[in-house]
Chain A
Amino acid sequence: GESVGLHLPTLSVQEGDNSIINCAYSNSASDYFIWYKQESGKGPQFIIDIRSNMDKRQGQRVTVLLNKTVKHLSLQIAATQPGDSAVYFCAENIGNQGGKLIFGQGTELSVKP
């Protein structure tokens, strides 16, 4: 079946440290992956995306790594700041299923000052 799961439901880091949020997926037909950040009372906000023909993509302070061999996705946040505290969702899109995104349950990131 389809699943997008997260290894850790909560993650607590010290301000300034790097954060790594992990995600596992089971559908080998998934070809596009996205990370979203959701703050309390708001909708998910796009962070970064990656296609299955890549294994790494970098943004501003964020890096997404994709390991298709083990069906694993991770989000790395450099120099984590208090404003990074939120719930992070990974999502996958299966190429032949149009606009449907499959979301994981989310990881809550808490940044300690």
Chain B
Amino acid sequence: EAGVTQFPSHSVIEKGQTVTLRCDPISGHDNLYWYRRVMGKEIKFLLHFVKESKQDESGMPNNRFLAERTGGTYSTLKVQPAELEDSGVYFCASSQAGVSSYNSPLHFGNGTRLTVT
């Protein structure tokens, strides 16, 4: 089966611009997560979708970040306007069942490396 795919793999934008990241989860996975790793620090949770609904968005840093999952398939994460501190690697992950279910681990994509200059 195809894994979690993210697009683009790299993005370089100027401060103040807008960027939209896309994630295609594994087919059939209702749970979709966004995480990011900033400045070589730990990977931090951003939000969790179950189908098209936001289950938990407690990790979203501020209102410049908007995540959507229309139709419960792919998801987008928009940053508008981008700031320097938004630079990092944004990971998407999906799972069939909840995160703490055995045999339903999170499958991560390869990430989008975002550089804001």
Whether a CB of chain A sits under 8 angstroms from the CB of B80 is no
Number of interface residues of A (CB under 8 A): 27
Contact between chains at A44 and B108 (CB < 8 Å): yes
Q: Which stretch of A45-53, A60-68, A76-84 is in the interface? A: A45-53
| Distance from B9 Cβ to chain A, minimum over Cβ atoms (Å) | 9
Measured CA separation A32–B102 after assembly (Å): 10
Contact between chains at A43 and B105 (CB < 8 Å): no
CB-CB under 8 A from A45, the residues of chain B are 108
CB-CB under 8 A from B100, the residues of chain A are 31-32, 51, 93, 95
Q: Which residue numbers of A lie inside 8 Å of B, CB to CB?
A: 4, 31-32, 34, 36, 41-46, 49, 51, 89, 91, 93, 95, 97-106
Q: Which residue numbers of B lie inside 8 Å of A, CB to CB?
A: 4, 31, 33, 35, 41-45, 48, 55-56, 58-59, 91, 93, 95, 98-100, 102, 105-111
